[in-house]
Amino acid sequence: MPAKFQYGYEAGHETPDAYESIQVNQQFIDHFAIQTSEGRLFQAGDYNVKNDVIPIILGYEYKDYFKLKQIIHVGYMGVNLKCKVIGFLGQHSFYNNGYALKYLDKLVVFPSLEVDNIHAQDRSFMLKLFLDKTSGYIQSSLSAQKIQDLFTQKSLQLDVEPYVVEGVSNFYLTMWGLEGEQLQKVLFIFSFVIAFVSLFSISTNLIAKITLRKYTYGIMIANGTRRAVINLSILFEIFFVNLVSLCIAALFSFMISQNINIPILLIFSFTLSLLSFIPPCISVNRIKLSKTIRGGN
């Protein structure tokens, strides 16, 4: 093919042999009023993922090199596809790519394959590549921010960089190159550091508080208050502090993954509370009444 059609280098080849292509659906064709100069446009059956021969439409400038109904083999997404030319686009057919008008004269147009349940199909990984959309137009009653949240959540589940809806900003850790197992390791270390710091801080603060209130606790014990009651009040205080931390953790979890795992957070908070309670409990049980009351401290 002439150099004017060459779009780049195909992986593993030293000479330019890649050609620009685009996947479109019926909405795209209708929205931009795409027409053919010869042959036809895609029909409903052309989008079927089970087709053995993939129908393609060539840009206007390919007319001198191919014929209608001609069978050609195309390497697409790392797979060799058997394709059939069903039409040639009208001259200077174009679409808006979000930034400028783009002509289709030198493009190979593929149908955007459709499937009800991708996981029920053979070669589901390759189908994900064929169904992949890096840009496009959608119509929805949802707000742009809601759509962005859905994209971000699903992308993080698949360990891919989240798609960005134009005009909408969204926070996700993969913007720093953290994803998959690497992201899980970072979050695990982060959680471990938080747990250690919280355990140390809560325990230290409560031991200091007990040290300052030894005389008060001594008087309470001398007047019949059981140590178990004092320990219970300290435990409730720890649970209250961790409850606030739990709310903050839930908010942080929602910001990162758009999901709140309540059972995990509850187990984490409950375990941290029990561990934080051990040092203050030991301090209360070690209070000596005679020395504490006589010393007044």
Decide: pTM greater than 0.75. no
Burial of 172 (0-12, 13-18, 19+ CB in 10 A): buried
Check: CB of residue 39 under 8 Å from CB of residue 93: no
Query: Residue type for 216, please?
Result: T
Give the pLDDT confidence score for residue 175 in this predicted structure. 44
Mean pLDDT of 188-210: 76
Question: Of 114-128, 154-168, 186-200, 270-284, where does mean pLDDT reach its minimum?
Answer: 114-128
C-alpha span between 279 and 277 (Å, rounded): 6
> How confident is the model over 48-58, as pLDDT tens digits?
877 889 999 99
pLDDT at 257 over 80: no
With 0-12 / 13-18 / 19 or more C-beta atoms within 10 angstroms meaning exposed / middle / buried, residue 141 is: exposed
Across 205-230, b (16+ Cβ under 10 Å) vs e yields ebeeebeeebeebbeebeeeeeeeeb
Q: What are the pLDDT digits (tens) for 52-78? A: 899 999 999 999 999 999 999 888 766
pLDDT score, position 61: 93
Query: d(Cα 43, Cα 290) in Å, to the nearest integer?
Result: 94
**Span 2-8, average pLDDT:** 80
Does the pLDDT value for residue 121 go beyond 70?
no
The token pair that represents 137 in the structure block = 């137009």
Mean pLDDT across 202-219: 77
pLDDT higher than threshold 60 for residue 156: yes
Separation between Cα atoms, residue 128 and residue 70, nearest integer Å: 27
263 vs 256, which has greater pLDDT? Answer: 263
- pLDDT value for 290: 66
Structure tokens at 88: 């040639």
What separation in angstroms does the CA of 51 have from each of 40, 70, 166?
18, 16, 33
105 or 268, which is more confident? Answer: 105
- For residues 27 and 7, give the distance between their C-alpha atoms in angstroms, rounded to a whole number: 26
Closest CA relative to residue 23, chosen from 84, 128, 107: 107
- The pLDDT of residue 176 is 46
